[in-house]
A = this chain, B = another copy of it.
Amino acid sequence: MSLLNPTSIAVIGASNDEKKVGHLILRNLLTQGYKGSVFPVNPKGGDILGHTTYKTVTEIPESVDLAIIVTPAQTVCALAQECGEKGIPSLVVISAGFRESGGNDLELELQRIVERYGMNLVGPNSLGLMRPSIGMNASFGSHLPPAGTVALLSQSGALGQAFTDRAKSIGLKISLFVSMGNKTTMDECDFLELCEQDNETKVIGLYLENIRDGRRFLALARRINRTKPVIILKAGTTERGRKAASSHTGALAGSDAAVQAICGQSGIRRARSAEEFLDILRTLSLQPPLLSPSIAIVTNAGGPGVLATDAVEKEGLTMASLTPKNEEKLKSLLPATASVRNPLDVLGDALEDRFDLALQISAEDENVDGALVIVTPQVMTPTEEIAKTIIDVKRRHPLFPILTTFMGKEGVRDAINDLHQHGIPNFSCPEIAVRMLSFLKTQPAAPEENEEVPFNAKRAEKARQILTESGPGLLDEKRTGELFALYALPLPRGRVARTAKEAITIAKDIGFPVVAKISSSDVVHKTDVGGVRVDLQTEKEVSQAFDAIMESVAAKAPKARRDGILIQQFLPPGNEFIVGTLRDPGVGALVMAGLGGVYTELFADASFRLAPVSMEVAYPMLQSLRSFRILMGMRGRPPLDIAALAELICITSILAVECPAIAEIDLNPVLITEKGLTILDAKVIVK
């Protein structure tokens, strides 16, 4: 493709001034191994770096695959137009001064020109593009990183440059680096598609500050991640200065729910820090998958071996037990005080032969599927020879994942460089190395969403009427009841009483015991204002509760309108979950499920997905909760009605999609038993 593998490049804004970006980019293209034609363009003409300079692209006598524009923002559109006329298929616009600093009109114009000519556009406000395999450094970063299989797509040019600057020293090998800039036409989805088709790319790393089109991104990420792992580093996860959320769902969501949903639903992985992002990328690009969690640790020191063993359990891996035959073999060949039980301690005076033995046997052992080799530089430790041995074993066992932790600095520098050159990633401490091994575990593929989620237009219209009648704010009890009846959402039986006497009548009607709750569209958290009384067994209790609630709400929320008291059947306490929906400005409706009641806030055990969802998505969504064990029936209790909860998630998600007027739904708590569930409290917030 012309963008990734151009045979000729024009640098528009090339300059003789060594401090200018237009000079740096030209020099990078001329001196770092690029074999294609490079044409400097500058209205002044003349010679730059020994190359004839053209006054315009149209003067260039040959065809051009890629134009890099480095001129002031005001000149970019005219130049892009010229490129279009010359039939240049791809543009990288380095120039800043567009939307990021108020130049919205200029950016729109650029977009129109690019679309008119059907050109690819990277940027504007991009740092450029690197393609190490063909020596193409079409950026103002000073060095090309080593060539390899990782595509690095970055929404921050500076961060991307820091990453590529770092690449060589950590053994990260790059197929493609793109600074996406303002993403005017080509955004993360377009680059993902490009990487999917690119044969050089095997692993994709994305640094993102926003996702333009969440639904397209999800679909692409899910598909591509099956063959090329996608790792994201997402900035902007916190919600500084965000207003207090009106629902639990909103409170749990933060600004991060959409990303969480996309990762959970597509199977792509998310790094916890910039450092971890690079670590995951080099691990996944250089080592084969770990077929089982069973790993061996080979070390010349007890201490780090124990630290690694601790980490193995924490990261969900297991310490392999070697076959008795191999254990015997090791015992006969290693010194008596060596440990032949995993972690395999070859002792402080070990030369490369003992590492060779232990690692070789581990690689051949049927119980071992991967290894971490830990080397501390002791008196006579031949760290470079040990590195060579590991490289040799790896060459003989290419499908056996091996990571290393050569600890220290001076004593291990050359060994680490050698390992990195041969595609074995080294990590500074055992805990990080073990965590990276866990990323090599083969993962279940993200669920296929074959089942179409139906949209019921007739029902949607009825719902719209209910919501329109109500107007914005909290939907009242009555309309909530109507809406939920439309979607067959199970609310407990009950009605609103205006007087204590009416309350008794209703209670007798639906049967004791009952619960009494304030009915008011002004009260969001009923318990906060003393608005709930439970397990009322007698007429007297109902009557007393009615008065007590009215009094309490009047005192604690004097401005709240009191519509009456809702009398409902009282259900014995059970396991409480929460189901909710909200809208993300980027991706639209999200559905959430989690542990309910007070624990919702306390442990934030919740899972998000893009709405609507089918049962195929709702089940794994529940499985991802820590509290899924409660649903499965902990400690001898029978399993709860998981199917009913999954179905509730689906219906609620459809409700959110069919009713765009709904901002948030909060079903909390949802009481779930062995057979069925009931929504004990529901809040619907209309936009």
What is A's interface to B at a CB cutoff of 8 Å?
19, 21, 24, 101, 140, 142-143, 154-159, 161-163, 165-166, 168-170, 207, 209, 233, 235-240, 272-275, 300-304, 306-307, 309-314, 319, 337, 348, 376-380, 407-412, 428-432, 525, 527-530, 535, 572-573, 598-599, 601-603, 605, 626-627, 629-630, 634-637
Contacts and interface: CB of A to CB of B under 8 A. Distances in A.
Given A429-B274, A599-B599, A101 B337 contact: yes
Contact of A535 (B311, B410, B572, B601): B572
B598 A635 contact: yes
What is the count of identical protomers in the complex? 2
B165 A409 contact: yes
A162 B431 contact: no
A355 to B, nearest CB: 14
B380 A525 contact: no
Nearest to A314: B238
Contacts of A306: 209, 235-236
A303 B235 contact: yes
A230 to B, nearest CB: 19
Contacts of A409: 165-166, 168-170
A235 B156 CA distance: 39
Contact of A410 (B143, B377, B411): B143
B273 A161 contact: no
Contact of A376 (B161, B239, B428, B637): B161
6 contacts: A143-B410, A154-B303, A156-B303, A158-B348, A236-B306, A240-B313
Given A166-B407, A310-B238, A156 B598 contact: no
A636 B630 CA distance: 27
Contacts of A169: 409-410
A235 B528 CA distance: 46
Contacts of A303: 154-156, 158-159, 207, 209, 235
Contacts of A637: 527
B159 A407 contact: yes
A636 B240 contact: no
A312 B241 CA distance: 13
A143 B319 CA distance: 35
B302 A630 contact: no
A165 B410 contact: yes
B431 A161 contact: no
Contacts of A605: 603
Contacts of A314: 238
A430 B271 CA distance: 13
Contacts of A272: 431
A576 to B, nearest CB: 11
A636 B527 contact: yes
A310 B101 contact: no
A639 to B, nearest CB: 13
Given A158-B376, A378-B158, A428-B275, A634 B410 contact: no
Contacts of A237: 310
Contact of A636 (B142, B307, B528): B528
A662 B140 CA distance: 71
Q: Which of A240, A273, A572 has the most CB of B within 10 A?
A: A273
Nearest to A572: B535
Contact of A301 (B158, B380, B601): B158
A3 to B, nearest CB: 23
Given A162-B408, A303-B207, A626 B598 contact: no
A525 B635 contact: yes
Contact of A165 (B158, B159, B411): B411
Nearest to A143: B410
Contact of A626 (B302, B377, B603, B636): B603
A525 B598 contact: no
